[in-house]
Structures are given as structure tokens and as C-alpha cells.
Structure 1
Amino acid sequence: MKSVAIIPARYNSSRFPGKPLATIGGVSMVRRVYEIVSSVGLDFVAVATDDSRIYDHVKSWGGEVIMTSENCINGTERVAEAITHLSFDPEFVLNIQGDEPFIKPQQIMQVANALKDPGTGISTLKKKIENEEEFNNQNVVKVVTDTDDFALYFSRSPIPFIRDKSSSISSFHAFYKHLGVYGFKKNILMDIVRLPESILQKIENLEQLCWLENGYLIKVLETDFQSLAVDVPEDLAKAEKYLKN
């Protein structure tokens, strides 16, 4: 069973152009992610990009990189296209975001190992929300799961809703945020990228809602590790501080 990880890296981010090439501690973000992912012992790791600057940068330090189309509308499509360029047929495909420079090897393996279960075609991660600010932040995607840890819904809104206003999230233990690392069985990945945009996906701007609407199960595993995603230039200062600590 061959497992591969693809790191989609786009230069023209609306909120942070050139983000994959931004440096943290003197090392580019995309290289940090690549080296962490490469350390876990998967069969193949590559960056997938549509930009020659990122392509040349990865080549300059000996990394694997695949040039993909400019027409990919999201990272999942870019990962799926990259897979078609491989000379072998992987069974498991991981989509590791290039803006997660502090992702832990344990988290990557957690997502990969979940795919060994015949009943799991898509896997991802969740972490307990620790404060009200995170819970109410629309940029923090929340997730609720069933008793078998399959996703019921993802939302930018606070879910589940706290009806008792005298309570707070500290009164419960069932509030989670979604961490955007995915594992797919290859056949499932190639199926979901062909799906038309769904209503819920369009409303929340969350592609995983399209998968749920079309009946695909998403296994959501809990992690205790707190990572730090870099979304905007202002996050670089936080990342430098995180690295030093």
C-alpha cells in the first residue's frame, strides 16, 4: 500500500501573495513543511504548484515538485492533478497544507493510519477549542462529529450553539476546531474533485461540506498538538516567536 503526500503551494494568495516562499527562521515555509512531511517515512512526498518561482525554489534544494495547471480552484484539485503525474498508483494520498510550517509528524501519521480502516475513505484532524475567541472566530472552522468520530458538520459559525447563556465553552468538552490536513483513499479523492459545487459549500466556503452533502464519510481524529497556520503576513511574527519557544 503506497502512501504519498502532496503539498499544494500557490503563489497568488489573495491574503498573502508569495506565502510559500516567506521565510521563518531563515527557511521558507514550503521547505519547512516538506522536511517535516518527509521525516515520517511515506513512499513519496512532493510540492504541487502552478508557479515557476515556487517550482524553481523547491528544485534548488533538491525537493520533489510537480507543475500543475493554473485552473485548479483549490488545493484538493491540485493534489488530485499532481497524482496523475506519478509513475505509480498510490493507495493513500495526503494533502498537507503549505501554510502549516509547524505540523507534527505524529499528526501526519494519525491521518495516514486512519485510512487503513476499510470504512474510512477520508480522514482529517480536530482539536479542542480552548477559548471563547476561537469559538466565535469565523476564520476558525468548527466541527461536530458523531459517536464514531465521523463528521456531522463543519462551520465557520460557533457549533454546537450554546443555548444556556449562563454556560460557556469551559462548561463542556465537546467543542472542536478543524485542522486542515486530509488523507484520502485515491479513488475517493478522484471522485470528490469531480463533484459540482454544493449549496452548503458555497454558503460557508468550505469544500468538505460538498463531500458530506454527497454522502462521503469524513473520519475526524482528535489531536492534542497545537499548530500555528500562517494565513496573512502578520502571522509571520507569531511564527518566529513560536519557533523560538
Structure 2
Amino acid sequence: MSVWIVIPARHASTRYPGKPLVDLRGASGQARSLIRRSWDAAMAVPGIDRVVVATDDDRIRDHAQGFGAEVVMTSTACRNGTERCAEAVTRMGLPPDIVVNLQGDAPLTPAWFVEDLVSALRADPGSDVATPVLRCTGAMRADLIADRRAGRVGGTTAVFGQDRRALYFSKEVIPYGGDDVGPGDPSPVFHHVGVYAYRPAALADYSLWGEGRLERLEGLEQLRFLEQGRRILCVEVEARGRQFWELNNPEDVPRIEAMMKAMAQD
């Protein structure tokens, strides 16, 4: 089965304008842009047939082409990364069997997260979408709660049933409870990792539905699938000693840089 990775990136972010071009310094002190690091993460995934950056901004296009990325220009009307992926795939011609949306704000995404995601969707023909979830330690849960109390939109959490089908995603820390969990112990909270694998038919349908009420309230694009009764498979992934965080706010830059240094990641 053929697999493409699309990296949606826009300059006009509400919370952090120009975010894809922000530099991040790794363990050696070398600075590379967020979009470059996301591209590097995509290129490290084995078995991928094509990797493209999808953007509506000339600055991002020129920068990405400068380090050798394939770029597809998309409309400024795209409201989120899934819509941008859908438009990019349409512009690219005959679609692959699976499209992976590796969002441009997740440069710490390990290759095995994507590999596990693609394998799970291949094995489950009843699901339209698959997305990774990472069980939080007590310390990770505390970081998420601290962000919310400080008024920052931090990571997204996911809840799912015994069949691993998603029940809900939220920017609040759900489920409630777990204060008695130690910093290094597993908590009941799952951090949603901002990566998706879609079947092309579901991706094409997504743009036709229009924005959903819950999607608008939470600001989470994946809720549109749930509101339309589509099945999202939550795939639990293992950190294997790696730290993970998404770049949502300017305050996340030093946090991610500290993680890269701790992991000796350049």
C-alpha cells in the first residue's frame, strides 16, 4: 500500500504567527526551523513513498524549497491542517492508499509513531482515520494541567473505548482524576499526538461537511470526523525514552529545545 506524508504549514497562526519559520536549537546549538525539523522527522520514516509540504504562504514555500522539500501550494481558505491535506492530495493527482498528516508543529515525532499508525490503519478496514495516543506519566499530566491553569492552550488529550475507537478529544485534561499518580508513574490521561493517517475517501469527504460545532468549540479538527459518525482508531504508541511535545505557543520553544538537548538530538 502506498503512503504519502503531507506536512500542512501556515504562516498566519492565531496563537503563534510565523511559527513554521521559528528556529529551534538542538543539542549542538545548531538552529533549524520548525518546518525543517518537521520535514526531517517525516523523511526519517521508512516505507514512505512521498513527502510534501502543503502551504498557502510564499515565505514558507521558498524556505522549504531551499532545503529541498517538495511543496504544494494550497488555498488560504483552508481552515485547518486536514483541509489543507485534502486539497494538497487533490492537486497531486491519483491518491495513495494512505495519507499521513504530520503536522508542522510536532518536530519531535519519532518515526515509529508513524509506522505504528500506518500499520494499525492497514489492519483495521473498519476505521476511516487513525491517530496516535501516548499515555502520560504523572509529570506529563501535571504539565498539561499547569498550561491550562496558566491560560495556555497546551497539548490535547484523548479518551477512547475498549475497542480503541475515539470517544472524544479535548484541550482540557480528561479524564478527570489521577492526582495520586507519582511523577514517573502511568496516569489515566492520554496525550493525543498530532499525527493522522486517513483513507483518501474519508479525507475527501471531510472538506465537504463543513465545520462542526464541537470542532469549533474545541478548536480540534479531528472532531469533525466524530461528529459525522466516522471512526477514529486511537493507536497507543510507546515513547521508548523519547520526550514529546508540540509547539503551540512561544513558551514551548525553550521547552522543546531543552527536550532536544536532554535527548542529545541535534
**What's the TM-score, normalizing by structure 2?**
0.84
* One-letter amino acid matched to 1:188: A
Q: Deviations over 1:91-119 (max 9, x none)?
A: 10000011111110000111111221212
Alignment match of 1:168 (pick from 154, 160, 179): 179
Residue 133 of structure 1 pairs with residue 153 of structure 2:
no
> Which runs of no fewer than 5 residues in structure 2 stay unpaired?
26-30
Following superposition, the deviation at residue 203 of structure 1 comes to: 2.4
Partners of 1:111 and 1:140 lie apart in 2 by: 19
Following superposition, the deviation at residue 134 of structure 1 comes to: 4.1
* One-letter amino acid matched to 1:149: R
Of all paired residues, the percent bearing the same amino acid is 37
Q: How many residues align?
A: 241
Following superposition, the deviation at residue 206 of structure 1 comes to: 1.9
* One-letter amino acid matched to 2:78: C
Partners of 1:181 and 1:130 lie apart in 2 by: 20
Alignment match of 2:210 (pick from 196, 201, 214): 196
- Conserved? CA contact 1:4–1:92, under 8 Å: yes
SS at match of 2:84: helix
Q: How does 1:1-245 map to 2 (within 5 A)?
A: 1-25=1-25, 26-40=31-45, 41-117=47-123, 118-131=125-138, 132-134=141-143, 136=145, 137=148, 139-162=154-177, 168=179, 170=181, 173-225=187-239, 226-245=243-262
* One-letter amino acid matched to 1:84: T
Aligned residues: CA RMSD: 1.9
Following superposition, the deviation at residue 120 of structure 1 comes to: 2.2
Q: Please identify runs of 4+ aligned residues in structure 1 that moved more than 6 A.
A: none
Partners of 1:150 and 1:134 lie apart in 2 by: 26
SS at match of 1:219: strand
SS at match of 1:32: helix
Following superposition, the deviation at residue 135 of structure 1 comes to: 5.4
- Conserved? CA contact 2:98–2:198, under 8 Å: yes
* One-letter amino acid matched to 1:130: T
SS at match of 1:215: coil
* Cα distance, 1:156–1:239 mapped onto 2, change above 3 Å: closer
* One-letter amino acid matched to 1:14: T
* Cα distance, 1:119–1:239 mapped onto 2, change above 3 Å: same
Partners of 1:14 and 1:199 lie apart in 2 by: 19
Q: Deviations over 1:142-188 (max 9, x none)?
A: 211111111111123343334xxxx6352985321211110101111
